């Protein structure tokens, strides 16, 4: 670990993403389960999603990382910290960050994973802020990488329509006060843990014949209950972090919400009195990629020119745990 001077903030200097080439459309799903293209689109806003063939989380994460590092003009050997947000790691241990470190040649970096479901990328940014902003490291590579197809029950029509695979990454470095990361709000409530859960595979229910037969190694979700909580929490998250920074909803240039469901996104935007131009949406192309959703959306928003210097950008995420998090960024 390095010991540098403490700084007040961090800024993003490079972004990258990686999406598998294979596209699974709603019409494809019609042939797999009892559903329809129209029903999926109406209920979720999803048209298609990306699914890996043989790749795993570290492969997508490494590709996104190298793109982010190239844009940041930082060589892998100069990376000091790698934080990977994922709920679909290559292995329970070592961490997926270890594999990414090896794959990209970041031999001098400290490495760790963060498990915070769909809010994982925001949580990882918060950790990077504390460590880089605290003067322990000069830079950090923050990655959200998920292979949700590996834990999706393709016989469950209520969940298999929702999820996809992908990865996004960013490089952060120290920033001057009142620029870059302005504020962070994180929260959680374990009382709702069973609403979105992967029941088996951990120490509570280790892999066994019965857990496999009962299909407990796949995502289980209570969608209706989650929908109501998600809208309320995401609105509160955005409002609290803006207030923390002395800002109002009207000061927001772009909201980048977790891409879980278009109806959730629209409900959040309505309650925050935001126009369509103030909200970034790409769920129709990728579905829900958990921690990768916000990371990929941030990268695409920048690539599409939706984020400009001086803009106030809010990342707003909510996921299983339950966990949630928002951050305010003044783009530099």
Beta-strand pair 140-147/165-175:
antiparallel
Residue 6 contacts residue 135 (beta carbons within 8 Å) = yes
209 is catalytic: no
Model confidence at 119, in pLDDT bands (50, 70, 90)? very high
pLDDT at res. 154? 97
pLDDT at res. 177? 85
> Domain coordinates of the chain in residue numbers?
9-177, 181-330
**Pairwise CA distance, residues 3 & 176, whole Å:** 18
Query: How far is CA 180 from each of CA 40, 114, 308, rounded to the nearest angstrom?
Result: 38, 22, 12
pLDDT per residue as tens digits for the range 126-148: 999 999 999 999 999 999 999 99
62/2: higher pLDDT: 62
pLDDT surpassing 50 at residue 16: yes
CATH class of 181-330: alpha beta
Q: Give the CA count within 13 Å in the CB-facing half-sphere of 319.
A: 31
Model confidence at 6, in pLDDT bands (50, 70, 90)? low
Token pair of 193 as six digits: 């843990």
Token pair of 236 as six digits: 């509160």
258 is catalytic: yes
* Lowest pLDDT segment from 6-15, 108-117, 182-191: 6-15
Beta-strand pair 254-257/312-319:
parallel
* Same CATH fold assignment for domains 9-177 and 181-330: yes
118 is catalytic: yes
**Pairwise CA distance, residues 293 & 299, whole Å:** 10
Catalytic residue among 98, 170, 237, 258: 258
pLDDT surpassing 60 at residue 2: no
pTM over 0.85: yes
Q: What is the mean pLDDT of the chain?
A: 96
Catalytic residue among 98, 118, 237, 299: 118
Distance from the first to the final alpha carbon of the chain: 27
pLDDT at res. 4? 45
pLDDT at res. 308? 97
- The CATH number of the structural domain formed by 9-177 is 3.40.47.10
Catalytic residue among 18, 170, 288, 327: 288
């Amino acid at each position: 670990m390095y010991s540098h001077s403490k700084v007040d903030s961090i800024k993003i200097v490079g972004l990258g993403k990686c999406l598998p080439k294979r596209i699974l459309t709603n019409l494809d799903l019609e042939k797999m389960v009892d559903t329809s293209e129209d029903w999926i689109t109406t209920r979720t806003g999803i048209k298609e999603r990306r699914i890996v063939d043989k790749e795993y989380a570290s492969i997508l994460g490494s590709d996104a990382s190298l793109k982010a590092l190239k844009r940041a003009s930082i060589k892998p050997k100069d990376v000091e910290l790698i934080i990977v947000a994922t709920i679909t790691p290559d292995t329970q241990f070592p961490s997926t960050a270890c594999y990414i470190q090896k794959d990209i040649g970041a031999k001098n970096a400290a490495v760790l994973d963060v498990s915070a479901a769909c809010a994982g990328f925001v949580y990882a940014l918060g950790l990077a802020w504390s460590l880089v902003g605290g003067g322990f490291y000069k830079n950090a590579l923050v990655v959200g990488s998920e292979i949700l197809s590996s834990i999706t029950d393709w016989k469950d029509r209520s969940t298999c329509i929702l999820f996809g695979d992908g990865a996004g990454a960013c490089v952060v470095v120290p920033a001057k006060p009142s620029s870059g990361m302005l504020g962070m709000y994180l929260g959680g409530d374990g009382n709702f843990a069973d609403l979105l859960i992967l029941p088996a595979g951990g120490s509570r229910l280790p892999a066994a014949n019965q857990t496999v037969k009962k299909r407990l190694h796949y995502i289980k979700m209570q969608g209706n209950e989650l929908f109501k909580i998600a809208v309320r929490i995401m609105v509160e998250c955005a409002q609290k972090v803006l207030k923390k920074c002395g800002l109002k909803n009207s000061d927001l240039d772009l909201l980048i919400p977790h891409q879980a469901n278009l109806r959730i996104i629209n409900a959040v935007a309505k309650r925050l009195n935001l126009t369509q131009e103030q909200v970034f949406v790409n769920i129709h192309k990728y579905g829900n990629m958990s921690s990768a959703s916000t990371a990929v959306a941030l990268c695409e928003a920048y690539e599409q020119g939706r984020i400009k210097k001086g803009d106030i950008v809010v990342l707003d995420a909510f996921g299983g745990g339950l966990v949630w998090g928002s951050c305010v960024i003044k783009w530099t």
